[in-house]
């Protein structure tokens, strides 16, 4: 290439970065550098060295970077290079319309495919904008560059010059994870709910958090940088992207950095898609993901919550990167959590990273209002919506113990905290909090801290008069800030106060002990909020107090309980407490052996853990008995069609439990059908009829028995889910059921299995709101008719317009008044139309209904090629619908789903689509 001719004086040249820096191309360019004049090189960070910043090129080349590696940072310090602070979402705009429009783009791509398209591979980020706006594109073609999905294609015809170079992509260095990173990662992991979507930034601390998520489930990825740690979570089944609101089913990123194994993983992987930074990092797009969690590192945080990222004093390091974009996007997300994770002291020089004052020149990357949580190895500071006083108290508590006194003194001097605040206690060498599941939800258990003063006041003022009297023995009208502080600031090593907090940080229960003189006895006391009583919180608090008390040598708990406080008396009696004669007219005294409390609690924990770990996610039911239902030669709903599916299900891993069936009782059939119709089916079968007299439903001598077995199997699956033997079940049964009304068999259906199951659930379990989701090429007229006047059963049908609709296809949009929504798709509709209908109508309606259990009428005759259908769905359509429904069930129904086979009459298509559905469940 004639570089001097291509790079005329004053030209601006973009160089691709990350793992896709075109090193051979750069070296070729630099061999002509002595002929260049006033060339500006623009780039982001790179895993390769940056040879253009060598002092010998200073008079010919000027570097301008958006993100500084150590060598480029040094060049900035000596005046040879420039640093442009800019969030990644805005860099493409600078290329398109701002002051940094690109003349020449140097990039690395894959070889062209058969369509003549190259792939930008592991770096789409700002490269896409550079190649689409540059006057000249020069590409290093590397056969080792992965082909990635998303928006990574570039036609070879758009590339002006090529240089072929076969070379391995550079790899990141192994993370340097120590005990501090492991501790902060465990704290951060407790903030992350199952079903969250993650962005994680560069650095040891953020990446360590990903390693701590191996027990989470249904996480999603929407991030700038895709790393080995993300790949590991996908392989472990932790990430499945099933509950993402934006692009469910896909891991979204803008660039990939990691090992060769990671580069092989993303190569032609349809589940990982790369897009430009202005798309991935756009805060409004990030916010479309519910429960979006942004995890980023920082250089330091001041006591008010300002975050410094790209400088230390006047010296620049790194860059703004994705922190600002994702902090604001996650902050705007429903239940989103932007957090900064950092060790309390610097690895380089041991200096404090939580500071009272920011040094001159320190650049604030995100303001006080952007970050919701700051996490160090000493705990979590929740800042969202908190006053300066609360922020200071919380941040001092998670600073290094040797820095806390100076920090608190600085806060006193500024008037940020009252003088009664004292220095928090010593270092913590273990994570002191844990997440606990109660039947009313998931809560955090941890010791009270001095910074919980306001939370404790709010807890007090939320009590009714009876609670205050029961707890304090008299009516108390107020709790001052200083009083609350003294209650929260427990003397370390002596007394103990534990709190149970909800997801919003509100206190729901307190348990504490006060050590007596001598150290072998301690008074215990509890307060549980009215809204969370009878959930077992006091039991857990008593057990946790016993764990610590036993370690400290406490032998006996004691308590005085008002005579009318029977729940508290029952708690102590169940724990082995002995009551002596009343010590006052209205009180009883209890002595509770700590060893007995501890033994009982540990046994309870073991049973709970064992039970939780033993619950499989999915169960299957299928049986060859359903092939006894003979519909006659040439009938589409044939035994052969079912046999193909049964054999495919039998080949699934044996670890998936197979559920037995049972025969439904007559009384159970009558939950959805009229008695005379049940008798009619029995008589028609016994009289050797070929079809039911109510319509065109084919029958044989075994059809009545088989139909009862099918209904019974569905009811058994419902019991298995409700009794926590399994989380979800797919029931492959026949004959199907959704056309059967209360008094008529229609189509291929005899008994309406899902309708019976819905009423069975409501009769036998404390559930009210049941959702039935019916996707099938045919409208489920029978189910709709049975629940037409029932506002507590939400029926949703997604079907082909005019196919078995009768007169019932009118759409209802308000599930709170009439719980029916029929969505009729035009003939020929495919995945685009189906998912658009779901996302715009079905999903929001179901979300508003908040079902406590989900039943699916799973028809697969909407798949392309089905002989009875006119829709054109792909297997992926069923996967996407299932993933959306699983996410909704996890949100509202503890994940409870029973799916029942309906249509699907092309055996290979039925098998393919049903297996995709099962895997998505």
How far is 556 from 542, CA to CA, in rounded Å?
A: 12
Could you confirm whether 635 is annotated as catalytic?
A: no
How far is 344 from 300, CA to CA, in rounded Å?
A: 9
CA 775 from centre of chain: 26
- Can you list the positions of beta strands (E) in 131-213? 136-141, 149-150, 153-155, 161-164, 197-200
Residue pair 365/320 in contact (Cβ under 8 Å)? The answer is yes
How far is 89 from 211, CA to CA, in rounded Å?
A: 27
Contacts of 506 (CB under 8 A, 6+ apart): 455, 458, 459
Is 379 in a helix, a strand, or coil?
Answer: strand
The H-or-E segment that residue 512 falls in is strand 507-515
What counts of helices (H) and strands (E) characterise the chain? Answer: 30, 41
User: How many other CB atoms are there within 10 angstroms of residue 338's CB atom?
Assistant: 29
How far is 651 from 918, CA to CA, in rounded Å?
A: 13
What are 371's strand-pairing partners? none
- Check the CA dihedral 745-750-751-753 and report its sign: negative
Active site residue: 181, 716, 739, 917, which one? 739
What does the angle CA 49 – CA 54 – CA 59 come to, to the nearest 5 degrees?
140
How far is 103 from 105, CA to CA, in rounded Å?
A: 7
User: How many other CB atoms are there within 10 angstroms of residue 218's CB atom?
Assistant: 22
Q: ω before 871 within 30° of 0 (cis)?
A: no
The H-or-E segment that residue 833 falls in is helix 831-837
Residue pair 717/758 in contact (Cβ under 8 Å)? The answer is no
Write the DSSP assignment of 771-822 as a string of letters. Answer: EEEEESSS--HHHHHHTTT-TTEEEEEEEETTSS-TT-------TTTS-EEE
How far is 745 from 681, CA to CA, in rounded Å?
A: 8
How far is 324 from 86, CA to CA, in rounded Å?
A: 9
What are 854's strand-pairing partners? 771, 897
Write the DSSP assignment of 402-423 as a string of letters. Answer: HHHHHHHHHHHHTTSS-TT---
How far is 32 from 20, CA to CA, in rounded Å?
A: 22
Is 731 in a helix, a strand, or coil?
Answer: strand
Is 330 in a helix, a strand, or coil?
Answer: helix
Question: Edge to edge, what strands does the sheet with 364-366 contain?
Answer: 354-355, 300-302, 307-308, 364-366
Q: Are strands 251-253 and 272-274 parallel, antiparallel or unpaired?
A: parallel
Phi and psi at residue 813, in whole multiples of 5°?
Answer: -105, -10
How far is 755 from 737, CA to CA, in rounded Å?
A: 9
How far is 509 from 893, CA to CA, in rounded Å?
A: 25
Contacts of 570 (CB under 8 A, 6+ apart): none
Residue pair 34/60 in contact (Cβ under 8 Å)? The answer is yes
The H-or-E segment that residue 264 falls in is helix 260-266
Q: Catalytic amino acids?
A: 739
């Amino acid at each position: 290439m004639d570089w001097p001719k291509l790079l005329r004086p004053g030209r601006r040249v973009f160089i691709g970065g990350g793992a896709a820096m075109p090193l051979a191309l750069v070296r070729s360019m630099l061999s002509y550098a002595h002929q260049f004049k006033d060339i500006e090189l623009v780039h982001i960070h790179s895993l390769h060295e940056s040879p253009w910043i060598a002092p010998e090129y200073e008079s010919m080349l000027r570097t301008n970077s958006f993100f500084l590696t150590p060598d480029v940072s040094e060049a900035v310090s000596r005046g040879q290079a420039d640093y442009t602070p800019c969030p990644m979402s805005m860099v493409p705009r600078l290329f398109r319309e701002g002051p940094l429009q690109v003349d020449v783009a140097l990039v690395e791509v894959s070889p062209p495919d058969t369509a003549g398209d190259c792939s930008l591979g592991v770096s789409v980020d700002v490269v896409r904008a550079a190649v689409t706006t540059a006057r000249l594109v020069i590409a290093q073609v590397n056969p080792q560059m992965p082909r990635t999905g998303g928006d990574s294609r570039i036609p070879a015809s758009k590339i002006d010059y090529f240089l072929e170079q076969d070379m391995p992509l550079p790899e990141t260095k192994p993370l340097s994870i120590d005990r501090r990173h492991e501790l902060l990662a465990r704290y951060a992991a407790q903030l992350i709910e199952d079903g969250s979507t993650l962005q994680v930034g560069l650095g040891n601390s953020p990446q360590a958090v990903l390693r701590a998520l191996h027990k989470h489930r249904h996480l999603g990825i929407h991030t700038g940088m895709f790393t080995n740690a993300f790949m590991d979570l996908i392989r472990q089944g932790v990430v499945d992207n099933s509950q993402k609101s934006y692009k469910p089913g896909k891991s979204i990123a803008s660039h990939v950095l990691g090992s060769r194994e990671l580069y092989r993983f993303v190569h032609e992987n349809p589940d990982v898609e790369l897009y430009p930074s202005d798309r991935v990092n756009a805060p409004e797009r990030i916010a479309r993901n519910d429960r979006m969690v942004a995890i980023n590192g920082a250089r330091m945080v001041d006591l008010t919550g300002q975050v410094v990222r790209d400088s230390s004093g006047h010296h620049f390091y790194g860059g703004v990167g994705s922190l600002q974009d994702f902090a604001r996007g996650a902050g705007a997300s429903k239940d989103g959590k932007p957090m900064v994770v950092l060790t309390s002291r610097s690895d380089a020089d041991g200096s404090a990273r939580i500071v009272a004052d920011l040094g001159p020149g320190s650049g604030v990357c995100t303001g006080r209002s952007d970050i919701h949580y700051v996490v160090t190895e000493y705990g979590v500071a929740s800042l969202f919506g908190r006053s300066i006083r609360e922020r200071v108290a919380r941040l001092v508590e998670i600073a290094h113990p040797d820095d806390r006194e100076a920090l608190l003194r600085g806060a006193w001097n500024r008037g940020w905290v009252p003088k009664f605040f004292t220095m928090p206690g010593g270092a913590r060498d273990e994570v002191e909090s844990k997440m606990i599941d109660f039947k009313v939800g998931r809560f955090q258990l941890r010791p009270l801290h001095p910074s919980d003063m306001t939370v404790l006041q709010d807890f007090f003022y939320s009590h009714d008069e009876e609670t205050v009297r029961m707890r304090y023995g008299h009516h108390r009208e107020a709790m001052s800030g200083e009083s609350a502080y003294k209650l929260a600031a427990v003397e370390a090593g002596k007394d103990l106060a534990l709190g149970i907090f909800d997801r919003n940080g509100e206190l729901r229960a307190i348990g504490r002990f006060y050590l007596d003189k001598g150290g072998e006895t301690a008074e215990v006391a509890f307060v549980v909020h009215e809204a969370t009583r009878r959930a077992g919180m006091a039991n857990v608090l008593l057990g946790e107090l016993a764990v610590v008390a036993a370690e400290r040598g406490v032998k006996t708990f004691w308590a005085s309980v008002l005579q009318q406080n029977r729940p508290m008396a029952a708690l102590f009696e169940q724990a082995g407490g002995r009551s002596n004669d009343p010590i006052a007219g209205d009180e009883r005294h209890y002595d509770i052996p700590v060893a007995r409390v501890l033994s009982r609690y540990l046994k309870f924990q073991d049973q709970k853990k064992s039970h939780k770990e033993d619950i499989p996610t999915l169960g299957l039911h299928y049986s060859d008995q359903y092939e006894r239902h003979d519909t006659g030669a040439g009938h589409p709903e044939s035994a052969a069609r079912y046999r193909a599916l049964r054999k495919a299900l039998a080949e699934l891993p044996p670890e998936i439990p197979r559920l037995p069936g049972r025969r439904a009782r007559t009384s159970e059939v009558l939950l959805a059908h009229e008695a005379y119709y049940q008798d009619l089916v029995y008589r028609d079968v016994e009289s050797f009829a070929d079809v039911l007299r109510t319509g065109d439903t084919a029958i044989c001598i075994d059809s009545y028995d088989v139909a009862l077995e099918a209904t019974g199997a569905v009811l058994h699956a419902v019991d298995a889910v409700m009794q926590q033997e399994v989380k979800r079940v797919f029931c492959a049964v026949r004959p199907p059921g959704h056309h059967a009304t209360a008094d008529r068999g229609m189509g291929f259906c005899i008994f309406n299995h899902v309708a019976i199951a819905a009423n069975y659930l409501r009769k036998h379990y404390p559930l009210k709101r049941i959702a039935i989701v019916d996707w099938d090429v045919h409208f489920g007229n029978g189910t709709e008719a049975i629940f037409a006047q029932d506002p507590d059963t939400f029926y949703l049908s997604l079907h082909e317009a005019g196919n078995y609709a009768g007169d019932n296809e009118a759409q209802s949009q308000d599930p709170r008044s009439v719980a029916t929504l029929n969505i009729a798709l035009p003939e020929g509709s495919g995945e685009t139309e189906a998912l658009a209908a779901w996302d715009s109508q079905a999903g929001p309606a179901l979300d508003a209904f908040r079902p406590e259990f989900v039943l699916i009428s799973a028809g697969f005759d909407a798949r392309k090629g089905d002989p009875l259908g006119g829709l054109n769905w792909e297997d992926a359509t069923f996967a996407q619908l299932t993933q959306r429904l699983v996410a909704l069930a996890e949100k509202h129904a503890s994940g409870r789903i029973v799916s029942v086979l309906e249509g699907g009459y092309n055996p290979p298509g039925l098998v393919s689509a049903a297996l995709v559905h099962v895997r998505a469940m």
